Amino acid sequence: MHLGVDSFVSAVEDPRTGHVVGPAERMAHLLEEIALADRVGLYSFGIGEHHRAEYYDSAPPVILAAAAARTERIRLGSAVKVLSADDPVRVFQQFATLDLISGGRIDLVVGRGSFTEAFPLFGLDLADYDSLFEEKLDLLLRLRDSVEVTWSGRHRPPLHQQGVYPRPVQDPLPIWVGVGGTPESFARAGLLGLPLMVAIIGGEPRQFAPLIDLYRRAGAHAGHAPETLQVGLHVFGFVAESTEAAADTIFPGWHRMFTAVSKERGFAPPTRAQFDATSGPNGAFFMGDPQTVADKIRRVAEQVGGVDRLSLQMTNPLLAHEDLLRGIELLGTEVAPLVAAV
């Protein structure tokens, strides 16, 4: 199993000094984080996409290009690219160019996103939430598989034997489907034979086992080889010297972040008890000292029938840069070897 880090490039306030980290400084910190992940041997680093004041990741290909120029081995990718709100031609061109810059180290994870602000921003109708993604994924896969494409659909002007360039180093460019909890999304990825990235942000990870099984059964029914049906998990978490330190470091920022989201969506305010339960042995957060986190990774992988990749999302608005660097270091130097040893 490969381990990595995902980031939403959150706006950050240093919890010790109260210093508000500006966008330019936060980008510099991010590139340090990615370079460290590369040095300590982590497999991947992903950048999300949001169009909100509290995140600086609205242009992931630009960030990934800077990261590609500063790294040597680590795979780089989207976490996730909001395909519904973009032009598949430009998405393919951008990520093919990234693949050239990185020497073949790019993974394109596409999805619909868990926020909806991109739809009004780019003049899209939320009523087309499903059809936009289905149609644009179809076009993206055709662009990946053929240099010249003839295609037509509802949401974009047609293409008539038009070539799309440049072509990536990897043939084919890896395209993963990011999913939440709808059975239709899991089944669609399986029928298409595409790798699956499951975002687990609540509940118990073992509850995703039937959906992941559905994905594998759909893929087998469509004739795809089992080895092509890869499964990745995108999870919240943090690694520190002790489990108590990890929880105490992450809780203040988590509380701020989810208080805002809960107010926006009409949910009850989050509590410390809820956080502790979610961080516990069966919860969705992978939080603790290296041994605790490694044990949970192995246990969850077994519960869902096997996992090829797991990415820890450490975005937090009250996480000091040096604490995040230490968390990345521990993930690469202690957690990854423990997971690999089994």
Q: What's the half-sphere exposure (Cβ side, CA atoms, 13 Å) at 326?
A: 15
pLDDT tens digit sequence for 312-339:
999 899 999 999 999 999 999 999 999 9
270 token code pair: 């989050």
Residue 71: which residues within 8 A CB-CB, separation 6 or more?
Answer: 34, 35, 38, 102, 105
Res 315: pLDDT:
86
Cα-Cα-Cα-Cα dihedral sign, residues 58, 44, 258, 21? negative
Partners of 107 in beta bridges: 77
The Cα–Cα gap between 236 and 6 comes to: 9
Res 264: pLDDT:
84
Nearest Cα residue to 250 out of 168, 165, 318: 318
Element (H, E) at 95: helix 88-102
Cα-Cα-Cα-Cα dihedral sign, residues 250, 256, 257, 262? positive
CA 54 to the chain's CA centroid: 17
Res 114: pLDDT:
79
Residue type, 313: Q
342 token code pair: 């089994």
pLDDT tens digit sequence for 92-112:
999 999 999 999 999 999 999
Question: What does pTM read for this prediction?
Answer: 0.96
pLDDT tens digit sequence for 169-214:
999 999 999 999 899 999 999 999 999 999 999 899 999 999 999 9
Res 271: pLDDT:
94
User: What structural domains and CATH numbers belong to the chain?
Assistant: 2-81+98-107+171-341 (3.20.20.30)
The Cα–Cα gap between 60 and 232 comes to: 20
The Cα–Cα gap between 131 and 55 comes to: 27
Res 129: pLDDT:
92
Q: Which residues of the chain have pLDDT under 50?
A: none
Res 266: pLDDT:
87
The Cα–Cα gap between 269 and 261 comes to: 9
